[in-house]
Structure 1
């Protein structure tokens, strides 16, 4: 959308046409001015006259109304095209395919068609409209259109494993490097996190303990799992793990305050990551932890967070904090380059199994049987082992997994396979032999690499419904929220409060050099707000 500007006469009498500025650029100009960027800087960057920038900013209400109107029209058109069970089915299928791609699972045309029909039939059965009679066959023609609509053209669909898009990986690596260089991010400011499933009480498949667990009445303990969110930064710092369990108050934690646990403990019925839980972790766990880390290391609190497109990751998360930039990995390359998937999670799981086996050996040496130890092993024991295993993941490992996604960083001496093989062969297998378990390296690798069961149709429908409700809530919040604006009074109060705080620091700090350095940095950072205040006073 362009706005026609009237022509302007030059000194020579020849009329010059003003620059036609796209709506998107106008919105960008407004956003930059609201963040305090000077008019002259914006004008210089975009090659426009400063008066043009000022005019656009003064007209921001009409421009934003026009943008909302245009977005509403586009949204209505899209909804009309893909309404009812067909549209819902395609959204579920996108979620399922992204999940398969991230897990590097095989994707074939017949499998996708079967899932599409299954989703459609489930949605049709649950439809509120009993007269809905549309038939869906998932034809090859439909699939080609579906691929184009949802940008799956670079994903290999065949009878083989879905191949990671190496060209896409290279392109993303270039773009990520550009962001890091242009915005001057330090290794300490670049983070990645990823979820993993941990069957915290499962023993190797062929052991008698595992076979007994399958016949136990009630909840089968070999299926009991937690979801963990693990991550850290390029410099090797590790975040406190987030643990999601199916029970809010398990018996083993009856007399334990969850605030004192060495993990962030959350729960829901399926022990999986949801949009609400991720947003809660982001605001109440990640932000405070990253801020404290930056403060302790005397670096600016500016964070670049790299995430994949997992169903439980809110798409609007990047708008929730002004000093955290979120970059999403393209679905087709996640398995190839996501840092935590390049050795951190598999190393952690190997350490966890070693920890449990070592405890079992200790129990048998003190006179208990392996069966007694296993029956008494509870979720609190698992949490302690999770923390010990996470502590065992070295800085070399945390640093080395970044080499596939970043140009300048990553320990090239780290090797994922040899690290895990060493733990399996020299630690876990030795302990397993002490326990007289008939296991080999392959049995242990299967347990380390085991993943959660596939999401059912009902699970995906529930997750998609949650995402839909969240999107509606976010939209309503944006509409209801009044536009932010500066006033001379509130600006003056804010600047005065900051000055008061600086004076308090000066009175307490015996190190004059440290104070003056901090004061200078603060004054430089506040210069943009002082400029806004001075301009408003002039007006």
Structure 2
């Protein structure tokens, strides 16, 4: 008979549909959850990567300022950094969760913790940016702050930022939908030219299919943006 352990972090509701005879719920101490190696190591890699990007994009003359860099840091860059940072988390680190979560099950050395070295590297990067007063404990406080609950004031400020962002997003959706619409018009025009001037209909039809298949993902994006715009219009009516 096999036994499996599933660790859930920041979960408010425990599923009760499973057979309780086969499921044992063991709450972990906050201090244990906070220092689980994979999430903590990922956060350290993510922070290191952000400051590396900051130095790279602001170091030379004529490049954006630190403030301009943060303003240009969007969801896409964040997703790319998340992906790269998780790739840096090794399998050894993933297995390293067990000494804290289930120490009785660990009978061998799990490797050295990468977080201390990462914190030192982050401090060096931050000081290279110009924040000379930052020390290692400041980086530790920053890493731990991601697990803290937001205050009422912070939630209100975040809500106001989202309202402002939604207004800007509406303009972006309309502009991107307009650009995609123009792109598809040009594509349709190009396929018509190919088909009208080609005596071999099989070839021109094949090329048209290849082109349409290649841009299918963009058609999905276009349809989703049109749908998002329609949903916004419907909400305004109510």
TM-score by length of 2: 0.52
1:389 to 72, 82, 85: 85
Contact kept in structure 2, 1:343 and 1:397, CA below 8 Å: yes
Q: Which segments of 5 or more consecutive residues in structure 2 lack a partner in the other structure?
A: 156-238
1:314 aligns with 2:11: no
Give the equivalent residue in structure 1 for 2:204: none
- Pair 317,343 (structure 1): closer, same or farther in 2 beyond 3 Å: farther
Given the alignment, which residue of 126, 141, 145 partners 1:432?
126
Q: How many angstroms does 1:409 deviate by?
A: 3.7
1:126-171 CA distance string (max 9 Å, x none):
xxxxxxxxxxxxxxxxxxxxxxxxxxxxxxxxxxxxxxxxxxxxxx
Match of 2:2 in 1: 184
Matched residue, 1:377: 73
**8 Å contact 1:403–1:411 — kept in the other structure?**
no
Task: Note the C-alpha offset of 1:392.
Answer: 1.5
Q: Could you say what secondary structure the match of 1:193 adopts?
A: coil
What aligned pairs does 1:9-20 form with structure 2 within 5 A after superposition?
none
User: How many residue pairs were aligned?
Assistant: 146
Q: After superposition, what is the alpha-carbon deviation per residue over 1:475-500, rounded to whole angstroms, capped at 9, x for unaligned?
A: xxxxxxxxxxxxxxxxxxxxxxxxxx
> Taking structure 1 as reference, are residues 382 and 411 closer, same or farther at Cα in structure 2, changes over 3 Å only?
farther
Task: Tell me: CA distance 1:372–1:194, structure 2 relative to 1, closer, same or farther (3 Å).
Answer: same
- Whole-angstrom CA distance in 2 between matches of 1:411 and 1:395: 15
Change beyond 3 A, Cα 1:406–1:318:
farther
Counterpart in 1 of 2:167?
A: none
Which of the pair is proportionally richer in strand? 1
Which is bigger in relative contact order (C-alpha 8 A, separation at least 6)?
2
Instruction: Say whether residues 1:412 and 2:109 are aligned partners.
Output: yes
Tell me the distance in 2 between the aligned counterparts of 1:410 and 1:192: 20
CA contact (8 A) 2:95 2:110 kept: no
State the Cα deviation string for residues 213-244 of structure 1 (Å, max 9, x = none): xxxxxxxxxxxxxxxxxxxxxxxxxxxxxxxx
User: Which residues of structure 1 form unaligned runs of 5+?
Assistant: 1-182, 196-309, 320-324, 460-539
Residues 403 and 410 in structure 1, CA contact (< 8 A), matched pair in contact too: no
Partner of 1:449: 144
Q: CA RMSD in A?
A: 2.9
Larger Rg: 1
Equivalents in 2 of 1:454, 1:368: separation in Å?
31
Q: For residues 66 and 150 of structure 2, what CA distance do their matches in structure 1 show?
A: 31
Question: Following the alignment from structure 1 to structure 2, what is the Cα–Cα distance between the partners of residues 444 and 369?
Answer: 22
Question: What CA distance in whole angstroms lies between the structure 1 residues aligned with 2:151 and 2:108?
Answer: 35
Work out which of the residue numbers 118, 123, 132 in structure 2 matches 1:423.
Answer: 118
Q: CA deviation at 1:342?
A: 2.6
Selected match of 2:30 from 335, 358, 361: 335
Indicate if the aligned counterparts of 2:98 and 2:105 stay in contact, CA closer than 8 A. Answer: no
* Cα distance change of structure 1 residues 353 and 410 upon mapping to structure 2, 3 Å threshold: farther
SS in 1 for 2:104: coil
Which of 37, 43, 46 does residue 349 from structure 1 map onto?
43
Match for 2:94 among 398, 408, 431?
Answer: 398
Check conservation: 1:347, 1:393, Cα contact below 8 A. Answer: yes
Alignment of structure 1 residues 58-73 onto 2, 5 Å: none
Contact 1:344-1:401 at 8 Å conserved across structures: yes
Residue aligning to 2:208:
none
Please show how residues 58-457 of structure 1 align to structure 2 within 5 Å. 183-185=1-3, 190-195=5-10, 310-311=11-12, 313-318=13-18, 326-330=23-27, 333-335=28-30, 341-365=35-59, 367-404=63-100, 405-409=102-106, 412-414=109-111, 416=113, 419-425=114-120, 427-438=121-132, 439-450=134-145, 451-453=147-149
- Relative distance call for 1:357 and 1:346 in structure 2 (3 A) is same
Q: Deviations over 1:461-488 (max 9, x none)?
A: xxxxxxxxxxxxxxxxxxxxxxxxxxxx
SS in structure 1 opposite 2:148?
A: coil
The alpha-carbon deviation at position 445 of structure 1 amounts to 1.2
TM-score, with length taken from structure 1? 0.25
TM-fit CA distance, 1:411: 5.3
Kept after mapping to 2: 8 A contact 1:424/1:441: yes
> Secondary structure at the residue paired with 2:8?
strand
Change in 2 beyond 3 A, CA 1:371/1:455: closer
